[in-house]
Chain A
């Protein structure tokens, strides 16, 4: 469980984030949505232990977060792959740093994300969507309890984005990882989230938390829950404008 209790962060005189209180239960999928510059990345970095809050506290499973933890993994907007390593070797990087032997897990993850036949390729031989899948595998090799994702699909084209979002949903259902996911896309937020935390403009605070009560697995486009999707989207839209 992640608890963010009255966390705030300033950079010099700039107040980026003001008093955020949020609890994310085990296995929950929470998306953070808000205008550019409202502090979403700042909040994520604080949960990751990369940035101390200037006020308030953040704990994971009751332990205050003071530095990055092995069971908390991160995926960024850029795949951040090492161009000289093969796909497989990129996925194994965290294991190597931790001193783990995880070759079997890596093979399994690559299989799961449809990358098995590309495992010996270098990143530049892969499409953007495939590169981001590699980054996801690299995060999952940490066997994370918590996965923090900062606009992971923002750099991709619309179709690839939807494909990856659906895939992430499947992975979340399979593994039960707790996920905090930053996005600018209402569609993505509604597809993925158990709850959507809407942040106000800078300094960011939580304007509202919207629960998305649509059964999974969810799909984009026409489906049985068209009305629920439309009303959740409309709600988020009005909160953002």
Chain B
């Protein structure tokens, strides 16, 4: 509810600024111009949104599955974990945006380079959050597991993984906007379809309201995805809010 109010205020400020400063809609269109543009071609924009959303969801799904699997595999052994942490940090620091032109060279147009971009940008936060969650088991719980001679697997399933879940969800929430950014980068660099391609196209034809309409749809997609993850979180770890 408060979120909606905040959004309303932000839109009012945007609208007010375009009127008060008498900004040419060619540079910054008012919310009215943007809505008008959307309603002139709703089917087109929604279709492109759906294309981008599909790439985001597929890429994010791969990143979640792969990220969790890799983190669990790495966390299986303390040595492996310590060996790979610096490598991960280094790879994570590489600006994935810089890879976009390379992906174009390797994979051309179409869905693949965009999905790969989504995976690249959202994979590492998930791996890092999961690994740090898995290694944050409190000393007394580790001691308890030892006293009970619980096997590696039992300790993992009954203690370490549930304990890591809140941090895993932090990683997922960090990764959701990145996933959308990744898809857009892919589409801007090798435009075919999707909202990123719309932005590139409207830039070329100086159609600012269209570009803004695409940006607003991206923002909305980001909000939806974020709250989707938050909703899953509330179902999976209802205990964490209370602790």
Number of interface residues of B (CB under 8 A): 20
Q: Is the CB of B141 within 8 A of A82?
A: yes
Contact residues in B for A76 (Cβ distance below 8 Å): 140, 143-144
Contact residues in A for B150 (Cβ distance below 8 Å): 97
Stretch at the interface among A67-75, A168-176, A199-207: A67-75
Contact residues in B for A96 (Cβ distance below 8 Å): 158
Given A74-B147, A97-B148, A83:B239 Cβ within 8 A: yes
Q: Is the CB of B144 within 8 A of A80?
A: yes
Nearest-Cβ distance from residue B88 to partner chain A, whole angstroms: 28
Give per-residue flags for A93-106: 1 if the beta carbon is below 8 A from chain B beta carbons, else 0: 11011100000000
Distance of A80 Cα from B159 Cα, bound (Å): 11
Q: Is the CB of A84 within 8 A of B237?
A: yes
Q: Which of A50, A72, A97 contacts B154 (CB 8 A)?
A: A97
Within 8 A of B (CB), among A197-238: none
Distance of A72 Cα from B237 Cα, bound (Å): 33
Within 8 A of B (CB), among A21-73: 48, 50, 67-68, 70, 72-73
Contact residues in B for A122 (Cβ distance below 8 Å): 239, 242
Q: Which of A68, A73, A98, A125 contacts B146 (CB 8 A)?
A: A68
Distance of A84 Cα from B150 Cα, bound (Å): 18
Interface residue A124 (Cβ < 8 Å from any Cβ of B): yes
Q: Which of B143, B162, B237, B242 contacts A82 (CB 8 A)?
A: B162
Give per-residue flags for B159-193: 1 if the beta carbon is below 8 A from chain A beta carbons, else 0: 10011000000000000000000000000000000
Closest to B142 in A: A80
Given A83-B239, A83-B243, A122-B242, A50:B162 Cβ within 8 A: no
Distance of A94 Cα from B146 Cα, bound (Å): 11
Distance of A68 Cα from B146 Cα, bound (Å): 7
Given A82-B159, A84-B162, A97-B154, A68:B147 Cβ within 8 A: yes
Distance of A172 Cα from B64 Cα, bound (Å): 50
Distance of A82 Cα from B160 Cα, bound (Å): 10
Given A84-B162, A97-B150, A97-B154, A50:B143 Cβ within 8 A: yes
Distance of A94 Cα from B138 Cα, bound (Å): 18
**Across the A-B interface, how many residue pairs have beta carbons closer than 8 Å?**
53
Nearest-Cβ distance from residue B38 to partner chain A, whole angstroms: 44
Interface residue B78 (Cβ < 8 Å from any Cβ of A): no
Interface residue B2 (Cβ < 8 Å from any Cβ of A): no
Within 8 A of A (CB), among B228-243: 237, 239-240, 242-243
Contact residues in B for A50 (Cβ distance below 8 Å): 143, 146-147
Given A80-B140, A84-B237, A48:B147 Cβ within 8 A: yes
Distance of A132 Cα from B140 Cα, bound (Å): 13
Contact residues in A for B143 (Cβ distance below 8 Å): 50, 74, 76, 80
Contact residues in A for B148 (Cβ distance below 8 Å): 68, 93-94, 97-98
Q: Is the CB of A67 within 8 A of B239?
A: no
Contact residues in B for A125 (Cβ distance below 8 Å): 242
Q: Is the CB of B149 within 8 A of A68?
A: yes
Give per-residue flags for B120-155: 1 if the beta carbon is below 8 A from chain A beta carbons, else 0: 000000000000000000101101101111100010
Contact residues in B for A83 (Cβ distance below 8 Å): 239-240, 243
Distance of A84 Cα from B163 Cα, bound (Å): 9
Interface residue A78 (Cβ < 8 Å from any Cβ of B): yes
Closest to A122 in B: B239
Rank and list the top 4 A-B pairs by shortest CB-CB distance, nearest first: A80-B140, A84-B239, A83-B243, A78-B140
> Other than the known A82-B158, A84-B240, what 20 A-B pairs have Cβ atoms closer than 8 Å?
A48-B147, A50-B146, A67-B149, A74-B143, A76-B140, A76-B143, A78-B138, A80-B138, A80-B141, A82-B159, A82-B162, A84-B237, A84-B239, A93-B158, A94-B148, A96-B158, A97-B154, A97-B158, A122-B239, A124-B239
Please give the residue numbers on chain A whose beta carbons come within 8 Å of chain B beta carbons, in ascending order. 48, 50, 67-68, 70, 72-74, 76, 78, 80, 82-84, 93-94, 96-98, 122, 124-125
List 30 contacting pairs A-B, 8 Å CB cutoff, sorted by A: A50-B143, A67-B149, A68-B146, A68-B147, A68-B149, A73-B147, A74-B144, A74-B147, A76-B143, A76-B144, A78-B138, A80-B138, A80-B141, A82-B158, A82-B159, A82-B163, A83-B240, A84-B162, A84-B237, A84-B240, A93-B158, A94-B148, A97-B148, A97-B149, A97-B158, A98-B148, A122-B239, A122-B242, A124-B243, A125-B242
